[in-house]
Amino acid sequence: MSVSWAYLCLILLTSWIVLKPDSVSGACPTGKYGLDCSYACHCNVFRCHNVTGCSGNCNNGWSGPKCTIENVALLKTTYQSSYYDVLPRNVSELAVDGSRITDSGGLCILTGAQPYTWWEVDLGRNYYIHKLAIYFRTDYTVRKSGVNAYSSLHANQSNSGHWCGNTTSSSPLITHLTCDDPARYITLYRDTGRGNSFMDFCEVEVYVCDAGTFGDTCNIFCHCRDGPCNYVTGECTGGCKPNWTGQMCSVCDSSHYGELCSEDCYSRHCIGSSSCNITGRCDNGCTAGWLSVDCKTKCPQGRYGQGCRSICKDRHCHGNSDCVHVTGECVSGCDRGYRSLDCTILCQATYGFNCNMSCDARHCRGSNVCDVFYGNCAGGCQAGWELPDCTTGSLQDGLLDLG
């Protein structure tokens, strides 16, 4: 392979690693996130964190801070009671085409003039409908008031079913109504009581939470053991997945913590006893060799001990020795002049390897200053003893004694 080809391959590989860090790290596969990788990313996959999910840039038909709100009315089958004379007969579908342009009547639905009028969308199956939104025209607002919204399990096309709410002349141009009801059909109905009930609007969006989420913006996660939770209350009726607890299975049990409750409280390295909240913070700090809020991060290479403040290269080990992140122990003992497990303390009243020689055991002449490395006697030895540390008897003196 030529150098240029090898260089190109290296660039491509590096780019792939940068763009797909989760796949390389063995986290969730592309397009998935969360507990057991059971949630789908409804956004650009490069904006989807493998734990927390999306952070904007939602796919078409999805919205919310986590892209977990689905518009289930998008591109679904629609009907309306009548059609304005000059408009085509498929105009009802303009209200579910995904366009939020509201300043042009040609992009909005318009019924004919009747005593009452209705528009209906078939969602295709039953959903638990949380909210819906009606986008009214901004260039002509006189028909905004008096629109009633109904949800039902069967085709309705009337002012019956579950009432979600209505609009008035003071309603905002984007009106949100709350249904909180299982339904397949959404019907908008208008009767002015004057026998001339035109109805026009530009878009209708019907919102449901993605499975496993709940709340007003569908950004709270529930972790039910069997099936999704209630979209409004988050209640799990069949119990929680492992490590989770609570009515909504949205908090960690007493033995776990972390965003996915996957961290074990008992595997931390806390000083003494400690509570275990969602962050796993150790109340009194970490034992020697560990860092971070939850004390589960080893000291970086080259450091050890309490707060990882000790430096491995400052030890005085005898021979080569690995640097254990907890104690920094020198496995072969200490070099001359040093003692302690990590060989960082100078000898006191002792000298030699591991400080195993006593200064008081020498037979120095004059000064008793004790060199911590070799125990040298600066003024020489007393008679009958040999340098350097005056602990070895003189052979010559021994021979004289024998004579």
Q: In this predicted model, what pLDDT tens digit does every residue of 241-300 receive, in sequence order?
A: 999 999 999 899 999 999 899 999 999 999 999 999 999 999 999 999 999 999 999 999
List, in order, residues 6 or more apart from 190 with CB less than 8 Å away.
116, 117, 118, 143, 146, 147, 148, 197, 198, 199
- Mean pLDDT rounded to a whole number for the chain: 89
As given in the structure block, the two tokens for residue 144 are 């905004």
Task: Categorize the per-residue pLDDT at 396 as very low, low, confident or very high, splitting at 50, 70 and 90.
Answer: low
- Can you give the pLDDT at residue 231? 77
pTM across the whole model: 0.67
Structural contact between residues 185 and 224, judged by C-beta atoms closer than 8 angstroms: no
- The residue among 182, 200, 181, 180 whose CA lies nearest residue 190 is 200
Structure letter (DSSP) for residue 236? -
The CATH classification number of 77-209 equals 2.60.120.260
- Can you give the pLDDT at residue 21? 38
Structural contact between residues 338 and 345, judged by C-beta atoms closer than 8 angstroms: yes
Q: What share of the chain is helix, strand, coil (3-state, %, to 5)?
A: 15, 30, 55
Residue ranges, comma separated, of all CATH 2.60.120.260 domains in the chain are 77-209
13 has a pLDDT exceeding 90: no
- 403 CB burial (10 A radius; 0-12, 13-18, 19+): exposed
3-state SS, residue 277 = coil
17 has a pLDDT exceeding 50: no
| Least reliable range by pLDDT among 60-69, 150-159, 228-237, 278-287 | 228-237
401 has a pLDDT exceeding 60: no
φ/ψ of 206, rounded to 5, equals -115, 120
Percentage of residues in the chain having pLDDT higher than 70:
90
Q: Cis link prior to 29 (omega < 30° from 0)?
A: no
- Can you give the pLDDT at residue 229? 86
Structural contact between residues 150 and 163, judged by C-beta atoms closer than 8 angstroms: yes
Task: Categorize the per-residue pLDDT at 216 as very low, low, confident or very high, splitting at 50, 70 and 90.
Answer: confident
User: pLDDT tens for residues 155-203?
Assistant: 999 999 999 999 999 999 999 999 989 999 999 999 988 888 999 999 9
5 has a pLDDT exceeding 60: no
Sign of the Cα torsion 80, 85, 87, 88 reads positive
131 has a pLDDT exceeding 90: yes
Q: How far apart are CA 352 and CA 199, in angstroms?
A: 100
3-state SS, residue 18 = helix
Amino acid at 100: R
- Can you give the pLDDT at residue 18? 36
Instruction: Find the mean pLDDT for residues 368-397.
Output: 88
